[in-house]
Chain A
Amino acid sequence: MDRRKSLKLIFTGAVAAPIAIAGCKTDDKKTGTAKTDDPTFNLDRNPDEVKYEKGLLAQEKFFTDHELATITILADIIIPKDDVSGSASEAKVPAFIEFIVKDMPNHQVPMKGGLRWLDIQCLKRYEKTFKDCNQQQQIELVDMIAYPKKAKPEMSQGAIFFSLMRDLTASGFYTSEIGVKDLGYAGNKVNQWNGVPHEVLQQYKMAYTEKELKECVSFKKTDG
């Protein structure tokens, strides 16, 4: 098959491909209990997974409104809007964290407990919970726990919590559309791999050998 033709077929295939699997739809019909919070799956799910995902979504909210507001403030301190991209909350990181603690229950106690630890620290220092502290106070507290090696021993639990919060925020943000664009990840699309770009090879003083150039698959620059 001609490569251009096959690429065209690939494109059509990708667009025309059915998205949801049949299993999920028939299930709804059978039980007649389709709810608005039914997951719509944009990727393949087997019947066991459909059952599991529905169970997750049927759970009550894990975080209280107060906790979620605190998470939102923290996430935006960790990933604020800058001149390259938006903030964690713009990328819906708080909703991701709400989901992931249900999916990974091992995060539940460290997150819930860490949030309460933070509020108690703030109550002692500022007589307000973290959420109701002013920005200066919030940053003052965050500075005490954002650098694990520098954190005072009595703040060590807070430093552990903040590192988890940073990791979850980064996971949520850099896997969002905004975050992937920020990173500049350029793949996940139909491509013709033609080797490392010339200017990059030069930057690192690298070159392909004659053998590699001869034996490897290559594409004309005008393609794609």
Chain B
Amino acid sequence: MGDLQLKKQPKKYDAVIVGSGAGGGMAAYMLANAGLKVCIIEAGYMYDPQKNITQLKNPWDSPRRGASTKLRPFGDFDACYGGWSLEGEPFTKETGTDWAWWRARMLGGRTNHWGRISLRFGPKDFKRKSIDGLGDDWPIGYEDVKPYYDKVDKLIGIFGTNEGLENDPDGFFLKPPKPRLHELFIKNAATQAGVKVIPSRLSILTEPIKNDAGRGACFFCGQCNRNCSMAKADFSSPNALIYPAMKTGNIDVVANAMAREVLTNNEGLATGVSYISKEDMMEYQVEGKVVIVAASACESARLLLNSKSQRHPNGLANSSDVVGKYLHDSTGAALGGILPQLFDRKRYNEDGVGGMHIYSPWWLDNKKLDFPRGYHVEYWGGQSQPSYGFSWGIENLNGKYVVKGKQKEGGGYGASLKEDYRYFYGCGVGMAGRGEAIPIESNNCSIDPNVVDKFGIPVLKFNVKWTEHEIKQAKHMKETFKEVMHNMGAVITWGGDDDEKNQWGLAKPGEIIHEAGTVRMGNDAKKSALNKWSQAHDCKNLFCVDGGQFVSQADKNITWTILALSMRASEYIIDEMKKQNL
């Protein structure tokens, strides 16, 4: 190792932002456009969707034909760098508990590959404790966030329909795409089961919108998970926020920089961030009038807990001792199978947008059920681009059905087998629930006293368990999905055999990658880390604008709310700076 040095960046910024995903990207966009000087610290690689391209590649462009690797766990064409385990960056778990932790390591983070499912929280979602006595109410309500949802809809673009639903609010929607064939079958079958089905709400530009980012309209390749390099028609932080904002000249991005601590002065105010550069392994400090953490719920909590000082002995923004607590992910359970009506189907391009064209918002009243919170349902199926794993295990399928008038033995080879592959192509169908978990104090992450990562930064220890609430919800999901599959004559081939022994197929906590709650907001400084402006109670020039600030996360994917809250916090910061309060 060379001589270890501590280097101070000479430039002083108005704001230092840790993380460049939805929360950090939006804050950078807002502040830079207001004329403030911004420095973004990103732990991962620099990434430019216009240069780093996987979109419109053919399966044979990947030597592994789109299969996943440890370095690209969602497949070789997926746009997100990172993974479930990172070399030299361990985390630990309390015995008998489980946590899966997705860590993106690139500019834009997981926004580069996410599902673009963009759901506003409804009025009830901010006041759950008042409804069922569990968890806590937010210090704000839908009316506080609505103006920002509206602005995000218009700035970034989203398709959907105004349905006038009480807890799934209307918005400013572009036109949705028409349902695909399997989605028409699902719609009928679900409706028959009493499950409401409406057009999905995804942040994809099905129509052009006025914008300063050079974003065009969707051309329906179905590859949003590869990030839209060609038209920038879906939302990712780099395409829609960071690169457009860099045109102001007010943003410096420091990539490959792992934040170590938020620095504070004798008055307890934040003065900047210290980080290690992965490029030269040197230690750096960068100063800012305001520090905004947006490193993902768990990384932000880790950073704050590791930022100990005389004024903040329990970690920064943590006199309440809540940082790291109330960690919760969406629940998830899924099943899938085949739809025999689609055997030997006519071929046509049904790629559509990258994701489902229809979905089911929560349609029941929990007061009449044995679990307290709801879930929404996502659907998939049809003729997709073949990739590694294509028709895997066909011996379990081709002996069960008459193929072109012939009953065959399962397995086989030759021209007859080729006929089978063609016959069954595009008949798959499946569905998944994404539900609301109850945030509880005992589900948390904290600093492991015994383990550091390769940068010498103390790591997180997770302690999370599902409760009866989530398990019962997963049971309900499975029962619902079975009924929907049955109604359309589909045959379940996986996910249909769950029972109480495996928690009804409930995904491990963390696996749905919607973690939230670790730096929650609230009016009571003894029970929350942030006030209702995403501002630390203990440190007025420190903000957290990622999923950490959530009090609860509804049965909605959280990205649209992260964007709205980050925009709201940013306006507050700009305003407070003008008033010289920061």
Task: Spell out A's residues near B (CB within 8 Å).
Answer: 1-3, 6-7, 9-10, 13-14, 17-19, 21-22, 39, 42-44, 46-49, 52-53, 77-80, 82, 84-85, 96, 99-100, 103-104, 142, 146-150, 159, 162-163, 166-167, 170-172, 174-177, 179-180, 182-197, 199-200, 203-204, 206, 208, 212, 215-218
Contact = CB atoms under 8 A, between A and B. Distances in A.
Contact of B51 (A7, A21, A47, A188): A21
Nearest to B49: A44
23 contacts: A1-B208, A1-B216, A9-B216, A21-B52, A46-B45, A46-B71, A104-B67, A149-B410, A149-B411, A163-B393, A166-B395, A170-B390, A175-B390, A185-B385, A187-B222, A189-B56, A194-B178, A195-B177, A195-B179, A204-B181, A206-B184, A216-B176, A217-B178
B184 to A, nearest CB: 5
10 closest residue pairs by CB, A with B: A195-B178, A184-B347, A175-B59, A6-B216, A187-B351, A217-B175, A175-B65, A44-B52, A186-B349, A193-B220
A166 B65 contact: no
A125 to B, nearest CB: 19
B386 interface: yes
A53 B384 CA distance: 27
A187 B385 contact: yes
Nearest to A17: B53
B81 interface: yes
B176 A217 contact: yes
Q: Considering residues B176, B389, B390, B393, which has the most beta carbons from chain A within 10 angstroms of its beta carbon?
A: B390
A115 B384 CA distance: 33
Given A47-B45, A185-B383, A185-B385, A171 B351 contact: no
B381 to A, nearest CB: 13
A14 B216 CA distance: 13
Contacts of A187: 221-222, 349-351, 383-385
B81 A175 contact: no
Interface string B260-287: 0000000000000000000000000000
B1 interface: no
A86 B411 CA distance: 20
Contacts of B315: none
Contacts of B181: 196, 200, 204, 206
Given A99-B63, A212-B178, A216-B176, A171 B388 contact: yes
Interface in B56-77: 56-67, 69, 71-72, 76-77
A224 B273 CA distance: 51
A48 B87 CA distance: 10
A146 B410 CA distance: 9
Contacts of A100: 64, 67, 388
A22 B50 CA distance: 13
B161 interface: yes
B64 A48 contact: no
Given A43-B77, A185-B386, 20 more contacts: A10-B216, A43-B61, A147-B409, A148-B411, A150-B411, A171-B389, A174-B391, A175-B60, A180-B386, A185-B385, A186-B348, A186-B383, A188-B385, A191-B349, A192-B220, A196-B179, A196-B184, A206-B184, A208-B178, A216-B175
Interface of B: 45, 50-54, 56-67, 69, 71-72, 76-77, 79, 81, 106, 159, 161, 174-181, 184-185, 199, 206-208, 216-217, 219-223, 229-231, 341, 345-353, 383-395, 399, 409-415, 417-418, 421-422, 425
Given A99-B63, A103-B64, A146 B418 contact: no
B65 A96 contact: yes
Nearest to A192: B220
Contact of A10 (B52, B76, B219): B219
Given A175-B65, A187-B350, A146 B71 contact: no
Nearest to A203: B346
Contact of B61 (A1, A42, A150): A42
A155 to B, nearest CB: 12
A17 B52 CA distance: 9
Contact of B219 (A1, A7, A39, A200): A7
Given A185-B347, A216-B177, A80 B415 contact: yes
A78 B413 contact: yes
B386 A174 contact: yes
A146 B51 contact: no
Given A43-B61, A170-B391, A217 B386 contact: no
A183 B422 contact: yes
B565 to A, nearest CB: 29
A199 to B, nearest CB: 8
Given A10-B231, A43-B77, A171-B389, A193 B353 contact: yes
Contacts of A78: 413-414, 417
Nearest to B391: A170
Interface centre among A176, A182, A183, A197 (most CB of B within 10 A): A183
Contact of A180 (B59, B220, B422): B59
A99 B64 CA distance: 8
B333 to A, nearest CB: 27
A146 B425 CA distance: 21
A13 B383 CA distance: 26
Contact of A215 (B199, B341, B393): B199
A28 to B, nearest CB: 18
Nearest to A172: B65
Contact of B60 (A18, A84, A177): A177
Contacts of B220: 190-193
Given A147-B412, A166-B395, A175 B350 contact: no
Counting chain A CB atoms within 10 Å of each CB, the highest count among B106, B175, B184 belongs to: B184
Contacts of B76: 43
Contacts of B390: 170-171, 174-175
Contacts of A147: 395, 399, 409-412
A186 B383 CA distance: 9
Given A14-B56, A215-B175, A166 B351 contact: no
A48 B44 CA distance: 11
Contacts of B67: 100, 103-104
Contacts of A103: 63-64, 67, 69
A200 B178 CA distance: 14
B67 to A, nearest CB: 7
A3 B217 contact: yes
A167 B393 contact: yes
Contacts of B411: 146-150, 159, 162-163, 166
